Every structure is written in structure tokens, then in C-alpha cells.
Amino acid sequence: MERKIRVLIAKPGLDGHDRGAKVVARALRDAGFEVIYTGLHQTPEQIVSTAVQEDVDAIGLSCLSGAHMTLFPRVVELLRERGADDIIVSGGGIVPEEDVPKLKTAGIAAVFGPGTPLKDIVEFHKKALRKR
């Protein structure tokens, strides 16, 4: 059977806005993905542990609180510790332009700012299949 791509959509940090995350989750579902959605206020530890148990191919992080510079790289670091750094991590939310290169250096594969067309996010994840 064809492999199904699994994506974890997670919201680290303290902000309580998950509308964007839900819109992305639905777009990915409509594109045939299995989307694991875990709700608000997730710690990087929770996100990584969930990603391992769910054996996802990719993680989409959404953060509007401004704490992305600590939270996003922390997720990548913890994945590395668990030997799961082949999971592709992308980020969205409100990320200032100048932070993008730093996030990429820290291992965030893509940053999707507000207004990114959903189809770009879908296309990006179509290539996210992990090697087994």
C-alpha cells in the first residue's frame, strides 16, 4: 500500500490563537495527509515526544507569541537528541524577516509567514516523506 504522509501540527508557547494552525491542518487533510493535531500550549518536550510516538514525517510549528527564536530551535535540538532529526520541521506564525535565516541555520526547513498560500505549504509537505 502507498505510504501515507503524517504531519504533526503543534502550537508551542503561550499564545491562544490556533486558527491559523487549524486552517493549515485542514488543508493538509484535504490533500490526503494524516494530520495529528495536539492543541495549544505545547512544550518542545511534549511536541517531540508526540512526534516520536506518532512517527510523523514532518512537524509544523505555529507560534504567534514571539518566542519562536527559542521554541523552534529547541524542538530541532530535542529531535536530534532522540535520533529523530530526519523529521522535517517548518514554522509559521509571526516571524520577522530578519529571524528567518537564523531559524534556517538552526534547522528549521521552511518558514511560512502570514499570507503564505496554503498550496505552498501542501506542496512543501508532499516532499516530506521520511526514509525507512
Partner 1 sequence: MEIVERLLKGDAGAAARLISMAEDEDPRAVKALSALHAHTGKAQIIGVTGPPGAGKSTVIDQAVKVYRKKGCKVGILAIDPTSPFTGGAILGDRIRMQQHSTDPGVFIRSMGTRGWTGGLSKGTASAIKILDALGMDPIIVETVGAGQSEVEIVRSAHSVLIVEVPGLGDDIQAFKAGILEIGDVFVVNKADREGADKAVAELRAMLETCQEPRAWAPPVLKASARDGAGIGEVVDALDSHFAFIKQSGAKDLKDRASAEREFMEVLRDRLAKYITEKVVRKGEFDALVERILRRQLDPYSAAEKLLEPIEKGK
Residues that bind partner 1 (CB under 8 A): 1-4, 6, 25-26, 28-39, 42-43, 45-46, 49-50, 52-55, 82-84, 132
User: What ranges make up the beta strands (E) of the chain?
Assistant: 6-10, 34-37, 58-63, 88-93, 110-112
Nearer to partner 1, 46 or 70 (CB): 46
Task: Please say which residue, 3 or 19, places its beta carbon nearer to partner 1.
Answer: 3
The span from the CA of 24 to the CA of 30, in Å, is: 10
Tell me whether residue 23 or residue 104 sits nearer to partner 1 (CB atom): 23
* Minimum distance of partner 1 from residue 20's CB (angstroms): 15
Q: What angle do CA 42, 47, 51 make, to 5 degrees?
A: 150
CB of 73 to partner 1, least distance (A): 19
Shortest Å distance, C-beta 9 to partner 1: 9
Closest contact distance (angstroms) between CB of 96 and partner 1 is 29
Nearby residues of 97 by Cβ (< 8 Å), 6 or more positions away = none
Count the helix, strand and coil residues of the chain and give each as a percent rounded to the nearest 5. Answer: 40, 20, 40
